[in-house]
Amino acid sequence: MNEKYSFETNCVHGTYNPYKFNKSRAVPLFQSSAFVYDSVDHAADLFSFNEEGHIYMRIDNPTVKEAEGRIALLEKSSGAVCFASGMAAITGFILNFLKSGDCIIASNYIYGGTSGLLNDTLPNLGITTVFFDPEKPETLEKLITKETKLILIENLANPALIVPDIKKIATICKKFTIPLAVDNTIATPFLCNPIDFGADFILHSCTKYMEGHGAIVGGAVVDCGTFTFDKDKYPLLHEEAPGGKSFVETFGKKAFLTRLRGKVLMNTGGCMAPFHAYMLIHGLESFHVRMERHCENAQKIAGFLSKHPAIKTVCYPGMENHTSHTTAGEVLRKYYGAMIGFEIKGGYEACKKFINSVKLLSHTTNIGDTKTLVIHPASTTHRNMNPEQRIKAGLSDEFIRLSVGIENVDDLITEIDTALQNTMEDLQ
Ligand SMILES: Cc1ncc(COP(=O)(O)O)c(C=O)c1O
In the chain, what are the domains?
7-284 (3.40.640.10), 288-427 (3.90.1150.10)
Q: Give the 3-state secondary structure of residue 205.
A: strand
Q: Which stretches within 223-273 are classed as H helix? A: 247-251, 255-259, 266-268
Structural contact between residues 406 and 209, judged by C-beta atoms closer than 8 angstroms: no
pLDDT of residue 361: 98
Judge if the beta carbon of residue 369 lies within 6 A of ligand 1: no
Taking residues 141-168, report their average pLDDT.
96
Beta-carbon-side half-sphere exposure of residue 402 (alpha carbons within 13 Å): 33
Q: For ligand 1, say whether the CB of 303 is within 6 Å of any of its atoms.
A: no
Q: What is the pLDDT of residue 159?
A: 87
Flag whether pLDDT at 406 surpasses 70: yes
Report the pLDDT value the prediction gives residue 427, as an integer from 0 to 100. 83
| Residue having the nearest C-alpha atom to atom 7 of ligand 1 | 86
Question: Is the pLDDT assigned to residue 209 strictly greater than 90?
Answer: yes
Distances, alpha carbon 396 to alpha carbons 203, 211, 273, 305, in Å = 28, 31, 38, 17
Q: Which of 285-289, 362-366, 372-376, 381-385 has the lowest mean pLDDT?
A: 381-385
Is the Cβ atom of 111 under 6 angstroms away from ligand 1?
A: yes
Answer yes or no: is the C-beta of 219 below 6 A from any ligand 1 atom: yes
Pick the residue whose CA is nearest to atom 15 on ligand 1. 111
Ligand 1 nearest atom to the CA of residue 185, by list position:
1
| pLDDT value for 373 | 98
83 lines ligand 1 (CB under 6 A): no
- Report which ligand 1 atom has the smallest distance to the Cα of 186: 1
- DSSP class of residue 135? T
Determine which residue's CA is closest to atom 8 belonging to ligand 1. Answer: 86
C-alpha span between 46 and 316 (Å, rounded): 49
Whole-prediction pTM: 0.97
Helices (H), 234-310: 247-251, 255-259, 266-268, 274-285, 287-306
Q: Is 107 in the pocket of ligand 1 (CB under 6 A)?
A: no
Nearest CA to ligand 1 atom 16: 111
CA distances from 131 to 88, 152, 167, 336 (A): 21, 9, 19, 25
First to last CA, the chain: 60
Residue 395's pLDDT band (cuts 50, 70, 90): confident
Alpha carbon of 267 to those of 63, 183, 221, 262: distances in Å? 21, 24, 17, 8
- Among 208, 209, 276, which is best to mutate for testing ligand 1, by the most ligand atoms less than 8 A from CB? 208
DSSP 388: H
Residue nearest ligand 1's atom 9 by CA: 86
CB distance 418 to 337 below 8 Å: no
Q: What average pLDDT does range 298-316 have in this prediction?
A: 97
Single-letter amino acid, residue 92: G
Q: How would residue 354 be classed by pLDDT, with cut points 50, 70 and 90?
A: very high
Q: Is the CB of 373 under 6 A from ligand 1?
A: no
Q: Work out the average pLDDT over 102-111.
A: 95
